[in-house]
Amino acid sequence: MAGSIDGHCHVGLVGDEFPSLGGMSQWYRKQLTFKIFLAFARIDPNQACDRVLRQATIETISTSTLDRVVCLALDPVYSEEGSRREDLSHVWVDNEYVLSLQGEELLRDRVLFAASVHPYDDEFAQRTAYCVERGAVMMKWLPSAQSIDLANPKAAEALIALAFAGPDGKPLPLLLHVGPEYAIPPADPRHHSYDYLSWSWLDRARNALRFSKRWHVPNLEAVHSNLEAALDAGAVITFAHCGMPYFASGVLGQVLEHSDFKPIKRYLEQYRDDTQSKGRCFADVSAFCTPFRKRYFSTLRRLPPNSLIYGSDFPTPIFEISADFEEAARDFRAILHGEFDRIVIPQDNLLDVSYRELQTAFPDHPMFTNLSKLLPL
């Protein structure tokens, strides 16, 4: 498909053969979530090693009909003092790994490099500049998994720096995970809420029920003031998944699961292309190819169309949502319950399935072309 880009694709290594290029904790490798990702990456869990993971990534991207795929690095956890803590990270992916995929003959010109540099690293500016020199088209942060508090002054400084970190002093767009996160657990369980841009009475109530395992209460005043300062300096921020819940929808969803859709909607309105603002905000629709999130499609259609970006979130589970809803919902529930024998994975290339399903739901929507206008391609 000419000009088609998937703006959100995960790659990774367990760290058995190439430990300098990424890793996953022993604990994580035993989790159901990891096994589900392997199933959707079409990898036998008994054969999950670096060589097989790399081969599967090459196979998926090279056989896809998409033109380009943004592959995401994920810097490990850093302490607030700035020390690198690969040992504490459940999942991390080195920038060099994504660069090495770009070097694969079969993937020539297909892989776009999303760098990840932790804002607590004293070398943030130097490492970011290095990645941009090597062709990074965006920066990826997953605050809970990386232990990034957006209220922290180092995060504030890095956010401002990103407004000028791209080629020729242009902004380097930040792909920021917001809202509930289930794929990669935080090193410190209290940091689940580092992905939150809102904290309602329901969050307070849910947190009270966690008793001694309470999450950090986000300092939202500082978080928003840091984001706005960067945007006013010209930063470009894409909020992943529109900050929406994953497992539940409707009224039940609001009670059971945190949502950051309201603040995201406000950012999209305030920093859209037809306003005077220097910075720009986008939101991606990654991991929306599920029966429950399908219920939000009418809400997505009411957002500024030039603010949405297509992405798959591969290898997050996807479903043929344009087919029978009940069937898709049944498959989705099988995943939630870990019933592996009942999980139905679409037959085709999953990057293609996701793209096709979203195109069916949003024919000719600018979400499929907005990223190509944003990136220096």
Enumerate binding residues for Zn ion (CB under 5 A).
313
Measure Cα distances from 165 to 36, 136, 139 in Å: 36, 10, 10
Which DSSP symbol is given to 38? Answer: H
Q: Least distance in Å: CB of 112 to Zn ion?
A: 15
Q: Smaller CB distance to Zn ion: residue 94 or 313?
A: 313
Q: Least distance in Å: CB of 333 to Zn ion?
A: 22
Q: Least distance in Å: CB of 198 to Zn ion?
A: 20
Full DSSP string of 119-164: TTSTTHHHHHHHHHHTT--EEEE-HHHHT--TTSHHHHHHHHHHTS
d(CA 213, CA 198): 20
Instruction: Collapse the DSSP code of 115 into the 3-class scheme (helix H, G, I; strand E, B; otherwise coil) and give the result.
Output: strand
Q: Least distance in Å: CB of 312 to Zn ion?
A: 9
Under 8 Å between Cβ of 14 and 89: no
Q: Smaller CB distance to Zn ion: residue 75 or 313?
A: 313
Q: Smaller CB distance to Zn ion: residue 184 or 231?
A: 184
Q: Smaller CB distance to Zn ion: residue 121 or 313?
A: 313
Q: Least distance in Å: CB of 3 to Zn ion?
A: 22
Q: Least distance in Å: CB of 240 to Zn ion?
A: 6
Contact residues for 192 (Cβ-Cβ < 8 A; gap 6+): 144, 181, 186, 215
Under 8 Å between Cβ of 351 and 312: yes
Question: Which single residue brings its beta carbon nearest to Zn ion?
Answer: 313
Listed residue (256, 195, 239, 184) closest to 220, CA to CA: 195
Q: Smaller CB distance to Zn ion: residue 154 or 173?
A: 173
Pairing relation of β-strands 22-24 and 91-93?
antiparallel
For 317, the token pair is: 């589970």
Q: Smaller CB distance to Zn ion: residue 11 or 160?
A: 11
